[in-house]
Amino acid sequence: MKIVYSDPKSGRSGQMELPADKAAPLMNKKIGEEFDASFIGLTGYKLKITGGSDKSGFPMEKSIDGTAKVRILREVASSGRQKGQRTRMTRRGNMITADTEQVNTIIIEQGEKSLDELFPKKEKAEKPKAEAAPEKGKK
Tell me the pLDDT tens digit for each residue of 38-61: 888 888 899 999 999 999 999 999
Confirm whether 138 is domain-assigned. no
Q: Please check the confidence at residue 139 and state whether its pLDDT lies above 60.
A: no
Say if pTM beats, i.e. exceeds, 0.85: no
Tell me the pLDDT tens digit for each residue of 61-116: 999 999 899 999 988 888 888 888 899 999 999 999 999 999 999 999 888 877 77
Q: What pLDDT is stored for residue 21 in this prediction?
A: 85
Range of the domain at 50: 2-115
Residue by residue, DSSP assigns 4-18 as EEE-TTT--EEEEE-
Total domains in the chain come to 1
Confirm whether 49 is domain-assigned. yes
Segment 25-36 mean pLDDT? 92
